[in-house]
Amino acid sequence: MPPAVVEELHSLLEAAYSSWTYDSFALAAASQGHPLSALLYFLLHRSGLMTRFRLNSLMTARFARALEAGYQDQPYHNKIHAADVLQTLHVVLTRGGLVPGYADPLTLLACLLAGAAHDLQHSGLTNDFLVATEHPLALLYNDKSPAENHHLATLFSMLRCPELALLAHLPKQERDKMRKIIIELIMGTDMKQHFTITSSFANLHRLPAERVPLARISQDMKAIASQQHPAATGSSVKAPTDEVSRLLGLQVALKISDLGSSAETFEVNRRWVAALQDEFFAQGDQEKAAGLPVSALMDRDKPGAASAASQFGWYDFVAIPLFYNFTRVFPQAEPLMSNAMATYREV
């Protein structure tokens, strides 16, 4: 790489470590098409996890490239999206107050691997489509979260390959713990489970079940922001009382990150929305060809995901309620909520 490109890549990777907004498209360009592998290796090294768990540097690099290669060239669910989710998840965990109470070093390592692999080999098709067409994955997993089950099976198969087995030297107890965390987190990204998980999170923390008016959200965020010291690095969040509540908090952290493009700058957000719409329309075309009813927002002859009505609905009923409740529990994640509100106002 030319020195100027190397310098830009280094700058983008350093920014990824702690920035609440991020342009993963710029990272993809600077890394010459390797945003996920570059970011995963950097985060594992920069965080000290490679040293702490004695991860072989060459094997880690090889694994990161193989993981990245497993992502297909879909408009939205691709390696750039995986890098974007990984970056957001790292910041949510490390700056949002979940470390160390919710995420000790081993858990943090598991979370980063889950974020990087959460859409591995994604086909660009929804679970509903896979089930409706009796896709081999739907048959294999009996119609239950076929995509998420496939992401997990592919990841764990990779980790069993001798040349990619970067965790093989860890004690079985640690590997088993990581496996459980990764499974819980990635399975939780199935949008069919969204309201079940978010309702459980709200009930656990005694948060209001009804939608909160935007005016109150703005007031609450100002109050939370005024209490946050910009130099604070520790967490004021109480550690979870049991394993169930800890895993639930981590599940929501990954869900927050999976929807993290809703909290990027308006310009970056528009690129993600356009990419998602392209992927939706491509599925709609397949549904028409198969004689199936066209799913909502997937008919290219009608307003799609990028329409103002769709975006307002998305923020009002999905993104903002999720971000708001998460910030109520983890107030150090307030910048994420503020960024989402700022982008929402520009829709």
**Catalytic positions, please?**
77
* Alpha-carbon 278 to chain mean position: 20
- Cβ distance 262 to 269 under 8 Å? yes
Judged by DSSP in three states, 265 sits in: coil
Q: Which residues contact 215 (CB under 8 A, 6 or more apart)?
A: none
* Alpha-carbon 102 to chain mean position: 17
Residue carrying the six token digits 């100002």: 222
Between CA 123 and CA 291 the distance in angstroms is 20
> Is 285 annotated as ligand-binding?
no
- Cβ distance 346 to 310 under 8 Å? no
> Is 78 annotated as ligand-binding?
yes
> Is 118 annotated as ligand-binding?
yes
Q: Which is nearest to 197 in space by CA: 138, 153, 105, 259?
A: 259
- Cβ distance 166 to 56 under 8 Å? yes
> Is 127 annotated as ligand-binding?
no
- Cβ distance 343 to 269 under 8 Å? yes
Q: Is 154 exposed, middle or buried (0-12, 13-18, 19+ CB in 10 A)?
A: middle
> Is 203 annotated as ligand-binding?
no
How long a stretch of residues is the chain?
347
Between CA 93 and CA 255 the distance in angstroms is 12
Residue 7 backbone phi and psi in degrees, to 5: -65, -40
> Is 180 annotated as ligand-binding?
no
> Is 79 annotated as ligand-binding?
yes
Between CA 258 and CA 97 the distance in angstroms is 18
> Is 197 annotated as ligand-binding?
no
> Is-cis flag, bond preceding 100, omega within 30?
yes
> Is 217 annotated as ligand-binding?
no
Residue list for the binding site for Zn(2+):
81, 118-119, 258
Residue list for the binding site for AMP:
77-81, 119, 258, 311
Residue list for the binding site:
77-81, 118-119, 258, 311
